[in-house]
A and B are shown apart, each in its own frame.
Chain A
Amino acid sequence: MKNNNMIKSIFSFIALSLLLSGVAFAEEEADPLVCYESRGMIDEDGEVVGYTIVEQTDVDTGWPNIKCSPTTKGVLWWGDPFDGTEAMGEMPVEADYTHEEAVVKPRETHLMEVIGLFPCADMCHGDPEVVAVPKNNKPRVLTEMHLEKFEDETGEPASLRHGRGAIWCLNCHNRTNRNKLIDHMDNEISFNQPQKLCGKCHGQIYRDWRDGIHGKRIGMWVPGGKKRWWVCTECHDPHNVQQAPGNRGFAQLLPEPAPELPKGMKNADHEQEHGVHDASSGHGAAAKH
């Protein structure tokens, strides 16, 4: 009996500790590994923010949907390129890829759920008592709400970062339905298909994008294969496309770590040295001999 008790207590101890460690383990696992797909960063609080946040899960054993960069928290590797995508819908005409299975990651859901733009649009711009529907597309000085879209934050049309006064908000956003964008013919464009909007002006880039030589696509390269197309706003900020001069249309981001130095090298300071050295050794040296 005594023995039995002892065995019991030992067992229960083991079981308890197993349980505890199991809980600890589960807790560790519960913290999901998340990273951003594009246009993202780690903010001041160490949170991953970005256009689309994805969570790392195993699709297959040892084969995750994505792998995150430990330094930048950007997606560093794609196992499953089609996670969370849906059919792109009607493909633009003229494209050679109409026969392909083209998918996109829907923007509208993201805008709705993550950024919360749509409720806001419904509540403010949808309610004439809060914000009156503009009578026409004419530019005007904007309220504080949208000042970050402007260069000098005056809200003056000429300082709008995109177009510098040549275009105005309502050239892109639907005057009467803020949940939609708008084309030249006043037809509504879904936020899922910004290319139709951007293509209004950027025709050549639109053509290149349609042909697959501008922009990013992941998935299958084979003709007829499934591809995830990345739409304009997944890479570019529509309100600040240019970013700073020389940024090639992208927001700056933290680079991944530099390669390991060659064995025996303490630093790479010599890379910073320039021409100066040659001025004395170049031609002068040839003359010496």
Chain B
Amino acid sequence: MEKDNKIEKKSRRAFLKDASVKGAGALAGAAALLTGSDDAEAKATWAEHFQKNYRLMTDEEKKESAERLEKRYSEEYGKKVTVGIEPAMPGVLFGYALNIQKCIGCRRCVHACVKENNQSRHDENGKATEIQWIRVIRMEKGNFAFDQNKMDQGYPHDKNFKHGVQVGGNAYTNLGTLLEGQHYYQPEKVPEKDAFYFPIQCHQCEKPPCVKVCPVRTTYRDPDGVVVIDYNWCIGCRMCMGACPYWARRFNWGKPNLPAEDMNPKTHYMGNRPRMKGVVEKCHFCLQRSRKGRYTACIEVCPVGARKFGNLLDPNSEVRKILDRKRVFRLKVEMNTYPKFFYFVD
């Protein structure tokens, strides 16, 4: 530890002295230890800083780095933490279906996700933000209401409508488009009479734009269709956040604030293990659960059973039956992303 401190002080000095340094090599090691000694990241070993991209590791290397993390996390959070490295299950392609007719907008999925996936919690001192991977949008049913008083109105604003109405008076009131919802609704009770709700999270696209734009291939699609992120390889450029059409990705702006007592000790390397500051994260269909056959946290908490999950390759799976039997749509099909997240109505 003392040695680490020494190195740290030295490199800090070196860094400040050579302030205009543009060479990446010099920065690579120095800045890693610039994070302050009380920081959890400072406890990370050199091996952690200089390990390969997860995808390129051999099985031994994966095991080694998972064990390294287990040791560090267990010490840090004061309980036995496991870091799984289960690969995708053979013959499984994950799919998700959400019944928007059922959703009551209670946001339990949002918070279940936070509890399961060790996201950063709200910090009173503003040193970290609360990260949530699911966003429930409230859509006003009134958007579809048409006003009888506006039937004689419109554009051009000509009293006698000599030239005919080009735009009816009911235009420019929202059509319930996705771009007109409310994200911060907080009524006494849900569901509200005049609203329906639209949860959005990562759609695990077959053709994910976020993966294409990543300059270091830290994010990629695993064989079971889940788009994963190697948190240790991410450089924090946020290209993926710019490219994602579903606004599924979140950034660790500060050092994640994860209280030890609320930390979920069953983790996966590509899933819910604690993240560090400066990296991107998002929904991964609870890899740590789903790859062991368990439902995701959001599925289990939904009080109305609006969320369904399963293997798209299994014709008897719940998702496949929904695709066969219900009216299904995908969000933003025009983006050609082929999401594996389906919305449906009964």
Chain A stretch 235-265: residues in CB contact (< 8 A) with chain B: 235, 244-248, 250, 252-261, 263
Tell me which of A253, A257, A259, A268 has the highest count of chain B C-beta atoms within 10 A of its own C-beta.
Answer: A259
Contact residues in B for A248 (Cβ distance below 8 Å) = 101-102, 104, 191, 304
* Assembly CA distance A282 to B143 (angstroms): 17
- The answer to whether A268 and B183 touch (CB under 8 A), given A221-B294, A221-B310, is yes
Check if A221 sits within 8 Å of B173, measured CB to CB.
no
Contact residues in B for A278 (Cβ distance below 8 Å) = 172
- The answer to whether A216 and B302 touch (CB under 8 A), given A255-B105, A278-B172, is yes
Contact residues in A for B108 (Cβ distance below 8 Å) = 69, 72, 74, 76, 256
Contact residues in A for B54 (Cβ distance below 8 Å) = none
Chain B stretch 319-345: residues in CB contact (< 8 A) with chain A: 321-322, 325-326
- The segment from B128-136, B205-213, B227-235 that touches chain A is B128-136
- The answer to whether A213 and B111 touch (CB under 8 A), given A96-B316, A255-B186, A258-B186, is no
* Assembly CA distance A222 to B295 (angstroms): 9
Contact residues in B for A116 (Cβ distance below 8 Å) = none
Contact residues in A for B174 (Cβ distance below 8 Å) = 274-275
* Assembly CA distance A254 to B186 (angstroms): 9
B329 to chain A, nearest CB (A): 16
Check if B294 sits within 8 Å of A253, measured CB to CB.
no
- The segment from A9-17, A60-68, A118-126, A131-139 that touches chain B is A60-68
Q: Does B122 make an interface contact (CB < 8 A)?
A: yes
Chain B stretch 120-167: residues in CB contact (< 8 A) with chain A: 122, 129-130, 132, 135, 140-141, 143, 155, 167
Which residue in A78, A218, A250, A256 is a CB contact (below 8 Å) of B111?
A256
Check if A219 sits within 8 Å of B122, measured CB to CB.
no
Check if A214 sits within 8 Å of B305, measured CB to CB.
yes
Contact residues in B for A75 (Cβ distance below 8 Å) = 301
* Assembly CA distance A253 to B295 (angstroms): 24
- The answer to whether A218 and B299 touch (CB under 8 A), given A259-B130, A260-B130, is yes
Contact residues in B for A221 (Cβ distance below 8 Å) = 290, 293-295, 299, 309-311, 317-318
Contact residues in B for A216 (Cβ distance below 8 Å) = 302-305
Which residue in B172, B184, B188, B191 is a CB contact (below 8 Å) of A246?
B191
CB closest chain-B residue, reference A275: B173
Check if B167 sits within 8 Å of A259, measured CB to CB.
no
Check if A257 sits within 8 Å of B265, measured CB to CB.
no
* Assembly CA distance A283 to B308 (angstroms): 42
* Assembly CA distance A222 to B90 (angstroms): 12
Which residue in B265, B297, B305, B309 is a CB contact (below 8 Å) of A62?
B265
Contact residues in B for A208 (Cβ distance below 8 Å) = 325, 346
A-B residue pair count with CB separations less than 8 angstroms:
179
CB closest chain-B residue, reference A209: B305
Chain A stretch 167-221: residues in CB contact (< 8 A) with chain B: 208, 211-221
Which residue in B111, B264, B293, B304 is a CB contact (below 8 Å) of A235?
B304
Contact residues in A for B172 (Cβ distance below 8 Å) = 275-276, 278-279, 282-283
Check if B303 sits within 8 Å of A235, measured CB to CB.
yes
Check if A255 sits within 8 Å of B293, measured CB to CB.
no
Contact residues in B for A72 (Cβ distance below 8 Å) = 106, 108
B214-251 contact mask (Cβ, 8 Å, vs A): 1 or 0: 00000000000000000000000000000000000000
- The answer to whether A219 and B295 touch (CB under 8 A), given A252-B191, A274-B174, is yes
Chain B stretch 276-301: residues in CB contact (< 8 A) with chain A: 290, 293-295, 297, 299-301
* Assembly CA distance A268 to B190 (angstroms): 19
A222 to chain B, nearest CB (A): 4
Check if A253 sits within 8 Å of B189, measured CB to CB.
yes
* Assembly CA distance A244 to B122 (angstroms): 35
Contact residues in A for B309 (Cβ distance below 8 Å) = 221
Check if B106 sits within 8 Å of A255, measured CB to CB.
yes
* Assembly CA distance A263 to B122 (angstroms): 12
Q: Does B44 make an interface contact (CB < 8 A)?
A: no
Check if B301 sits within 8 Å of A258, measured CB to CB.
no
Check if B106 sits within 8 Å of A213, measured CB to CB.
no
Contact residues in B for A77 (Cβ distance below 8 Å) = 112, 115-116, 297, 300-301
Contact residues in B for A219 (Cβ distance below 8 Å) = 294-295, 300
- The answer to whether A245 and B104 touch (CB under 8 A), given A255-B187, A261-B184, A263-B129, is no
Check if B79 sits within 8 Å of A220, measured CB to CB.
no
Contact residues in B for A215 (Cβ distance below 8 Å) = 305
Check if B293 sits within 8 Å of A222, measured CB to CB.
yes
* Assembly CA distance A214 to B105 (angstroms): 18
Contact residues in B for A144 (Cβ distance below 8 Å) = none
A279 to chain B, nearest CB (A): 4
A22 to chain B, nearest CB (A): 20
* Assembly CA distance A203 to B234 (angstroms): 51
* Assembly CA distance A218 to B173 (angstroms): 41
Contact residues in B for A214 (Cβ distance below 8 Å) = 305, 346
B295 to chain A, nearest CB (A): 5
Contact residues in B for A76 (Cβ distance below 8 Å) = 108, 111-112, 115, 301
| Residues on B facing A (Cβ under 8 Å) | 77, 79-80, 101-102, 104-108, 110-112, 115-116, 122, 129-130, 132, 135, 140-141, 143, 155, 167, 171-174, 180-191, 193-194, 253, 263-266, 290, 293-295, 297, 299-305, 308-311, 314, 316-318, 321-322, 325-326, 346
9 sampled A-B residue pairs with Cβ under 8 A? A69-B111, A212-B321, A219-B300, A248-B304, A258-B186, A268-B184, A274-B140, A279-B172, A283-B172
List 5 additional A-B contacts (Cβ < 8 Å) besides A77-B115, A252-B190, A255-B189.
A216-B304, A223-B317, A250-B303, A259-B183, A274-B143
